[in-house]
Structure 1
Amino acid sequence: MASVKASAAVSHVGRVRASNQDSGYAGRRLFLVADGMGGHAGGDVASAIATRRIADADADYDSSADAAAALESALLSANRNLEETVAEHSELTGMGTTTSAMLVQQDRVVIAHIGDSRVYLLRSGELSQVSTDHTFVQRLVDAGRITAEEAMVHPRRSVLMRVLGDVEASPEIDTMVIDTHPGDRWMLCSDGLSGVVSFDDIHEMLSADAGAKQVADRLVKASLDGGAPDNVTVVVVDIGDPPAPDTPPLIVGSAAAPLAFGTAPEPARRPGIRLTPFRPHPVQETHFEPDSEEYFDELIEEDERRRRRRRIMWGVWIALLIGAIVTVTALGYQWTQTRYYVGEYNGRVAIYQGIQQDLGPISLHRLHSETPVDIADLKAYDQQRVEQTITAGTLEEAMRITDRLEESVD
């Protein structure tokens, strides 16, 4: 039977946010990350309420099917708790939270997921993302409209299509049951990590020969080093022997503070989880949009319009750039044709219009006139000068040079 060998949970407010709206839980068999949304509408309250309700599912079950049903029921119950809280505190209208939770049940892991927090599995050195983001950009990626790299910088990357909250009475929860083996390392995180630290860097840190707590600390530090524009929460779970000793569950983030509802923190007291009237930093907030095909099609069309506008703008800039290059080339060519030099043509002294160089296949000079003076009749010094070409600023200057060479022969 698979056992939890070690686990750790770490949460940090990040470098930009005014408060921590993430929550994390590492219990005996249950582990979860919740990322509150709504900003001024109580995202910290949402993630804390959901975490505390779902934590009740940290128990033993007769089968993985029972565990999956209990975990999904806990998420739906948390959703009802959020609705009831909003009904009692109207200032929290619009709050919600993502949730990624997993239960270790014998040799299997039961996962329940909604939103864009993530579940990863490191097995035999290979890292895979187990959960699927319920985001607008993920729908675009799945539809083949954009790449995963483009999704990282898409202007609607913060739009969630599914969350727990007062937005939907019965949200659709992704549940799955996956076999787990000794040596597996699981990681749950908020998008404060996955949106900043690359997949390869996450892979490298999870693969390190280090304990769960040390790895979790390194992952959070990597997000902070990357600017940490959002809260970041990481839960690491190692499967193996010997099993971890029974210890009290570890709760981090907003769920670790007492619930408090108000319009501003009191300076002389610990603020706990509190409604923040505004944010002092311009942070892009995660927001929710209904997960309907009609609305999704509207977003797709809006995205297409944006892409068309971008293509038009790029076309205009490229056309302007090509026009500028053509103009500069034409003006440059015209200037070269105001210059002259004296050189050799068929063994005789000749006057050329232009400059000696060529621009790729374009010749920047042409024969203007040929003189009757043979190169062989010139003095050795003059022969060398003509063969190397003699620069003349104007046609008159070039003609004076050829006249002098002709006189030297006479």
Structure 2
Amino acid sequence: MAGGRMLTIGAFAKACRLSPKALRLYDELDLLKPGRVDPDTGYRYYAVEQLEKARLVAWLRRLGMPLARIRQVCALRPAEAACEIRAYWARVESDTAARRDLAEFLIRHMSATSRKDTTMLELRYCAHSDRGRVRPANQDTAYAGTRLLAVADGYGPAGAPASSAAVAALRFLETEELGAGNVLNLLEEAVQGATEAVRDAADGTAEAGTTLTALLWTGSRLALVHVGDSRAYLLRDGALFRITDDHTVVQSLIDEGRLTPEEATTHPQRALLLKSLSPATTPATVDLRLHDAEPGDRYLLCSDGLCGIVPDAQIRHLLTTAPTPDTAVHALIDAANEAGGPDNVSCVVADVVETTADVFGSGS
């Protein structure tokens, strides 16, 4: 390669239709190393023979293939690479079909007419937390009330007090006046209080902290607050949607294309959090958003003791077939324990049900 014709990074980028910025990234990732680097200026040069691989990388990026998978494809013989690309595209088409279903749901949702004034919605709910089969103690906290649903997964020496304090700090929302425009501001302020409560509960233990995923019911909407790797799911019309993003190192690597979801399941840092409520860090920026509710919706909040070991397809099946929130919660926890129960597992399941205007209260 050193004896062939060399191109500057600019000329090479133009020839293969990859930007110089992309080429520098692929060099750092050992995906496409330059043929020569000037020892004095650090300027990159590429051999003409590298154009074929560079164009393949560009084409695969246009397909949307993650960089980690592109590296695998480029290492294969042409026939094997073709099979790998075919398998990847089949997965893309499957995912696209799922997104199409979501788009159709959103179209129906946004086009729906307002409900009659005589119709009300309420929650039927259940919460439970289990130690699992391996951990010596339970550091999770799960809570469900008429308005508030919450799961917190504590960690460190004071993990249990931290998760309990975070959820307890939100309990006042059960009786707080909820104006139409201030619910997210109210949740944000409540999380600030939860952060202080975690700091007090940790009692000087810097390594302690907790995740927090909670939903606040307004009567027609659910306001979400989320930080960490506990999760919230929505089951609607038989389809399961994850409505939170994990604040973890591996999720950031997936988002950047440096790791595939399959590789993430065995990554040594898969439990390493980027955000949490902890006295050791500055106050975390939490995710806040509103979700309109529909009759028949079923929501799941869970710690990673469930979603980290039970596949989404099985979670969807159990949520779909369980007749009540209580049976759903216990079926999910049983599934996690049957899979080995390596972590504490906590679940909250809540159904959105339609009632008439003269019916009040909610069940658990």
TM-score when scaled to structure 2?
0.64
Ranges of 4+ aligned residues in structure 1 off by more than 4 Å: none
Q: Deviations over 1:83-135 (max 9, x none)?
A: 2344xx33x33210000000111221100000000000001111000000000
Name the CA shift for 1:145/1:113 in 2 (closer, same or farther; >3 Å).
Answer: same
CA distance in 1, matches of 2:234, 2:191: 22
Name the CA shift for 1:79/1:125 in 2 (closer, same or farther; >3 Å).
Answer: same
Name the CA shift for 1:16/1:2 in 2 (closer, same or farther; >3 Å).
Answer: farther
The amino acid of 1:9's aligned partner reads A
Q: Deviations over 1:21-53 (max 9, x none)?
A: 000110111100000011xx2100100111111
CA distance in 2, matches of 1:71, 1:213: 27
Of structures 1 and 2, the larger Rg is shown by: 1
The amino acid of 2:147's aligned partner reads R
Match of 2:270? 157
Match of 2:295? 182
The answer to whether the 8 Å contact 2:165/2:201 transfers is: no
Match of 1:115? 228
Task: Please state how far the C-alpha of 1:208 moved relative to its aligned partner.
Answer: 1.1
The answer to whether the 8 Å contact 1:2/1:108 transfers is: no
The answer to whether the 8 Å contact 1:120/1:130 transfers is: yes
Task: Please state how far the C-alpha of 1:62 moved relative to its aligned partner.
Answer: 4.0
**In the alignment, which of 117, 130, 141 is matched to residue 23 of structure 1?**
141
Task: Please state how far the C-alpha of 1:178 moved relative to its aligned partner.
Answer: 1.2
Q: Which moved more, 1:181-190 or 1:142-151?
A: 142-151
Task: Please state how far the C-alpha of 1:161 moved relative to its aligned partner.
Answer: 0.4
CA distance in 1, matches of 2:131, 2:152: 14
5+ residue gaps, structure 2: 1-118
Is the counterpart of residue 45 in structure 1 residue 158 in structure 2?
no
Name the CA shift for 1:2/1:132 in 2 (closer, same or farther; >3 Å).
Answer: farther
CA distance in 2, matches of 1:32, 1:45: 15
Aligned residues: 243
5+ residue gaps, structure 1: 251-410
Is the counterpart of residue 56 in structure 1 residue 169 in structure 2?
no
Is the counterpart of residue 72 in structure 1 residue 188 in structure 2?
yes
Task: Please state how far the C-alpha of 1:64 moved relative to its aligned partner.
Answer: 4.3
Match of 2:348? 235
Match of 1:4? 122
Is the counterpart of residue 200 in structure 1 residue 313 in structure 2?
yes
Name the CA shift for 1:145/1:58 in 2 (closer, same or farther; >3 Å).
Answer: same
Task: Please state how far the C-alpha of 1:199 moved relative to its aligned partner.
Answer: 0.6
The answer to whether the 8 Å contact 2:161/2:201 transfers is: no
**SS across alignment from 1:159:** coil
Task: Please state how far the C-alpha of 1:60 moved relative to its aligned partner.
Answer: 5.1
Is the counterpart of residue 35 in structure 1 residue 153 in structure 2?
yes
Task: Please state how far the C-alpha of 1:209 moved relative to its aligned partner.
Answer: 4.7
Match of 2:92? none
Q: Which has the higher strand share?
A: 1
CA distance in 2, matches of 1:227, 1:3: 38
The answer to whether the 8 Å contact 1:80/1:169 transfers is: no
CA distance in 2, matches of 1:219, 1:167: 33
The amino acid of 1:55's aligned partner reads R
The amino acid of 1:153's aligned partner reads T
Name the CA shift for 1:109/1:146 in 2 (closer, same or farther; >3 Å).
Answer: same
Match of 2:87? none
CA distance in 2, matches of 1:174, 1:2: 28
Q: Deviations over 1:262-308 (max 9, x none)?
A: xxxxxxxxxxxxxxxxxxxxxxxxxxxxxxxxxxxxxxxxxxxxxxx
Match of 1:212? 325
Task: Please state how far the C-alpha of 1:244 moved relative to its aligned partner.
Answer: 7.3
CA distance in 2, matches of 1:125, 1:244: 28
Q: Deviations over 1:186-227 (max 9, x none)?
A: 000000000010010001111115101001100000000000
The answer to whether the 8 Å contact 2:124/2:351 transfers is: yes
CA distance in 2, matches of 1:98, 1:72: 15
The answer to whether the 8 Å contact 1:25/1:55 transfers is: no
Task: Please state how far the C-alpha of 1:173 moved relative to its aligned partner.
Answer: 0.7
CA distance in 2, matches of 1:84, 1:117: 22
The answer to whether the 8 Å contact 1:135/1:161 transfers is: yes
The amino acid of 1:52's aligned partner reads A
